[in-house]
């Protein structure tokens, strides 16, 4: 029997007083890859930020449980220590802190154990090779002077080094060329195992080509409208979201779907 990792029930949430999520339910088991698709403004980024505990987003009803524990009221750093990770759409530059120091400090904070420097450096070198990141980037300040693709690969590097139980990728593939998407996808595949789970938000399904997707969820107007297997992706690519039913769309989403 699959071991449940994440359970979200009846989640309602608002941003600056505007309701975004309207009774969302989602369960993820260990060993699974879940994909969330939907039009702009439907609540995809809101969902992963809520799971991560971003203070900007307010839960007005419902609950989030991780490994059977209600984490609805936990701070972001507490959730990270429990094994939740979020890769950002637009990674921030952090002058004065090197990639290696950030990763070593973060790994130490999460594990609570003293990091063995040589073993850490070896692991970091291997992960960077997988992602085709030059070793010199370990000594560079985080994302400073990095290209868009390098910033996104650096996010996946963090995921691989921190080894979370639940990795959430919020359009990590956006703005990347075909080769960069293939490298990022390879890194995600390398990370995936039967003891963790991945939740991916994407518009560019190229990142999924190397992954075995278990479930695809269509999020519209603050709720998961439909769940299916990987074949649902090709249906969306061919027909878009409108064919799923106008009742699920508010006027703003209809306008966005039409451009």
Per-residue model confidence as pLDDT tens digits over 66-109:
999 999 999 999 999 999 999 988 899 999 999 999 999 999 98
Residue 119 within any structural domain of the chain: yes
Please tell me whether the overall predicted TM-score, pTM, comes out greater than 0.75 for this model: yes
Let me know if residue 230 belongs to a domain: yes
**Domain assignment of residue 13, yes or no:** no
The share of the chain scoring above pLDDT 90, in percent, equals 69
Q: Is the pLDDT of residue 254 over 90?
A: no
How confident is the model over 46-70, as a mean pLDDT? 95
Domain membership of residue 60 (yes or no) is no
The CATH number of the domain holding residue 44 is 3.40.50.300
Q: Is residue 61 part of a domain?
A: no
- Tell me the pLDDT band of 115, cut-offs 50, 70 and 90: confident
**How high is the mean pLDDT of the chain?**
89
pLDDT at 238: 84
**Domain, as residue range, for 32:** 25-54+75-257
CA distance 222 to 18: 11
Find the mean pLDDT for residues 34-51: 93
Per the domain annotation, does 132 fall within a domain? yes
Is 15 inside a domain boundary? no
In a domain, 2, yes or no: no
Give the model's pLDDT for residue 204.
74
Number of domains the chain is built from? 1
Give the mean model confidence (pLDDT) for residues 44-65.
94
């Amino acid at each position: 029997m699959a071991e449940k990792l994440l359970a979200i029930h009846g989640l309602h949430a608002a941003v600056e007083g505007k309701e975004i999520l309207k009774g969302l339910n989602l369960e993820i088991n260990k060993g699974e890859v879940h994909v969330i698709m939907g039009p702009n403004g439907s609540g995809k980024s809101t969902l992963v930020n809520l799971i991560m505990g971003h203070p900007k987003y307010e839960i007005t009803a419902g609950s989030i449980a991780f490994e059977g524990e209600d984490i609805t009221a936990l701070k972001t750093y507490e959730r990270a220590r429990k094994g939740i990770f979020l890769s950002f759409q637009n990674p921030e530059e952090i002058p004065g802190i090197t990639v290696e120091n950030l990763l070593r400090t973060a790994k130490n904070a999460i594990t609570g154990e003293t990091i063995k420097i040589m073993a850490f450096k070896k692991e970091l070198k291997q992960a960077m090779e997988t992602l085709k990141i030059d070793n010199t980037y370990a000594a560079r300040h985080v994302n400073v002077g990095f290209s868009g693709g390098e910033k996104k690969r650096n996010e996946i590097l963090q995921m691989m080094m921190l080894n979370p139980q639940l990795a959430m990728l919020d359009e990590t593939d956006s703005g990347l060329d075909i080769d960069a998407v293939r490298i990022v996808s390879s890194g995600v595949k390398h990370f995936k195992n039967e003891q963790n789970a991945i939740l991916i938000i994407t518009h560019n399904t190229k990142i999924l080509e190397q992954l075995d997707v278990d479930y695809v969820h269509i999020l519209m107007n603050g709720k998961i409208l439909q769940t299916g297997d990987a074949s649902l992706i090709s249906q969306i690519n061919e027909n878009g979201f409108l064919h799923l039913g106008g009742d699920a769309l508010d006027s703003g989403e209809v306008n966005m779907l039409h451009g």
